Structure 1
Amino acid sequence: MTRYAACLIDVYDTVVSVDFSRFVTSLAERAGVSADDLAIGVSSWEVPVSVGRVTIAEALDDVLRTLGSPADATLIDDLVAADLELLHELAVLHDDTIPFLQSLRASGVRTAFVSNCADNTRPLLDHLGLAALVDELVLSCEVQAAKPDPVIFHEALRRLDVAPEQALFVDDQQRYCDAATALGIAAVRIDRFDGTGAAASLAELTPYF
């Protein structure tokens, strides 16, 4: 089995899972709008937010205006704070995440989180103590490119100073794994819920390193 010098790791549903249905419902209650309306509005901003073209605050402001419930700056600030609070509250860290990251560090394997996400993810990773366990955070909202765009993969490789063939990528989405493979990066799809992936836990990946 090939042993890799670096590991590129997805965040959501790979190392941590969040009940986004509960998240949207709770945030909608605080915003004074229906959960369905907020979910539809937020989904329309998902891509711009994930590539850093707009912030969560700007997206929420536009969504509420579109729903006929314009908010002042104070309410938007409160909702942004609630967004982060709810993310911290509802995030479930998978039990094998920290041992896996610690084992990679002990073995000298370079690591990076490579995530499609909004600007609330870096604070979440800090809150969970995960940011300190990897070498790099390559977040779509900060590098202005989201998987499956090759740009985000190349940025991760550049920061870790490794060639594509030296890295293993793990993600729960097959199309992102396919994008990595197309660049010469080995990929493993993890499925923590239905068992349809090549792995069901991060612990299964330790032989690759």
Structure 2
Amino acid sequence: MYKSIVFDLGGVMVDFAPRAYLVDRICNEEIEEQVYDLTFGSEEWKQLDAGLVSRFDGNQAMLRNAKAAGREFEVQGVLDDWLHILRPRRRMQELVRRLKNHGYSVYYLSNIPEDVLALLKERGVLDRFDGGVASCEVHVNKPDPRIYQALLDQYGLKASECVFIDDNLANVQAAFTLGFVGIQMKESVGTLIRSLATCNVALR
């Protein structure tokens, strides 16, 4: 019997589609890929998620790399603007409320920088959660097994009693290897609810 539901944040609780954002912003496939690799797909972005560099230092490093690649203008624009894509998903917040009402504990497990975590807290996205672990706090990113274990240890959870939901397949597979039931969120909230039902997670 499952007792706890664990949610990723970006791409699950809030909209986060950086490639689609770059398509809308740039409208040139080659440049989009270059800018993605210099920002969202960069080593510096992973370090920000892991809390290993400050936002200022991470951005400065990305801009240095962008200048060397001749993409400083595009990367500066993205760094100045990208936060607006993090729109809370109201139906997901409603799902969290329903799960809580049915007696489930609800946690988050997210690759997320300190400033973005603070922003989501300010916006009330995390208000209904019983707790969670952010990569910036433990200095480890998914799919490293240590971040999943950190969640289990901090809250005294058993992986076999947890359902883990993430939009990234590699993260779901890592959770599965540790004993979680994993669900990859691909499309609508309705599809996710049906997937939860197959796990006998009651919502009625």
Note whether the superposition's TM-score is higher than 0.5: yes
> Percent of aligned pairs with the same residue?
20
The SS at the match of 1:47 is helix
- Matched residue, 2:72: none
Show CA shifts across 1:147-185 (max 9, x none): 111111111112222111111111112221111111111
Q: Structure 1 108/184 Cα, relative in aligned 2: closer, same or farther at 3 Å?
A: same
Aligned counterpart, 2:63: 64
Match for residue 200 of structure 1? 191
User: Pick from 81, 102, 120: which aligns with 2:97?
Assistant: 102
SS at match of 2:179: coil
**TM-score normalised by the chain length of structure 1:** 0.73
Is 117-126 or 137-146 further displaced after alignment? 117-126
Q: Matched residue pairs, number?
A: 185
Which 5+ residue runs of structure 2 have no aligned equivalent?
69-77
- Is the 8 Å Cα contact of residues 9 and 114 (structure 1) preserved in structure 2? yes
For 1:37-186, what aligned pairs fall within 5 Å after superposition?
Answer: 39-42=36-39, 43-68=42-67, 82=80, 86-87=82-83, 89-186=84-181
One-letter code aligned to 1:119: E
- Amino acid in the other structure paired with 2:44: W
CA change 1:143–1:27 in 2 (3 A) is: farther
Q: Which moved more, 1:179-188 or 1:116-125?
A: 116-125
- 1:138·1:155 contact (CA, 8 Å) conserved in 2? yes
Determine if contact 2:169/2:184 at 8 Å carries over to the other structure: yes
TM-score norm. by structure 2 comes to 0.75
Match of 1:7 in 2: 5
Q: Runs of 5+ in structure 1 lacking a partner? A: 29-33, 70-78
Question: C-alpha separation between the residues in 2 aligned to 1:112 and 1:175?
Answer: 19
Q: CA RMSD in A?
A: 3.1
Distance verdict in 2 for CA 1:117–1:24, change over 3 Å = farther
Go from structure 1 to structure 2 and tell me whether the alpha carbon gap of 1:10 and 1:202 turns closer, same or farther (over 3 Å shift): farther
